[in-house]
Amino acid sequence: MPAHIAALDIALQPSVTEYACPMKIIEYMAMGKCIVAPDQPNIREIIGDRVNGILFRKEDKKSLSEVLKMVIDDKQMRETVASRAYESVFERGYLWRVNAMRALELLSLKEAINVVNG
């Protein structure tokens, strides 16, 4: 898949479940792609509109079309957003190593609580 994603200028996430972290978006960010995704709470947790991605009104074909046209026509914005997406992966710790450290910290905390509670 990385070779196919590498060929993209724009990574489109047309829809996403509202209750999960959309891993594809993080993968697109890690590959430095300009991401277009629906404006919904779990997406806004990782994408700032026109910062490290471009958001369109969820389930609104006209909004999606307008956003895609804007991104296609504005190469500078597309490249800036893509660069910021890549930087966000490191700034926000969207890395497996960081997730593993968080899990270990939670386990250590749980063990400490168990010791205190006897």
- Determine, yes or no, domain membership for 12: yes
CATH of the domain at 83: 3.40.50.2000
- Determine, yes or no, domain membership for 104: no
Q: What is the pLDDT along the chain (118 residues), one digit of tens a residue?
A: 889 999 999 999 999 888 888 889 999 999 999 999 999 999 999 999 999 999 999 999 999 999 999 999 999 999 999 999 999 999 998 888 888 888 888 888 667 566 666 6
Domain holding 38, by residue range, is 2-92
Gap between the terminal Cα atoms of the chain:
49
What's the distance, CA 27 to chain centroid? 7
Place of tokens 């800036």: 80
Identify the bridge partners of residue 57 per DSSP, sorted by sequence position.
Answer: 39
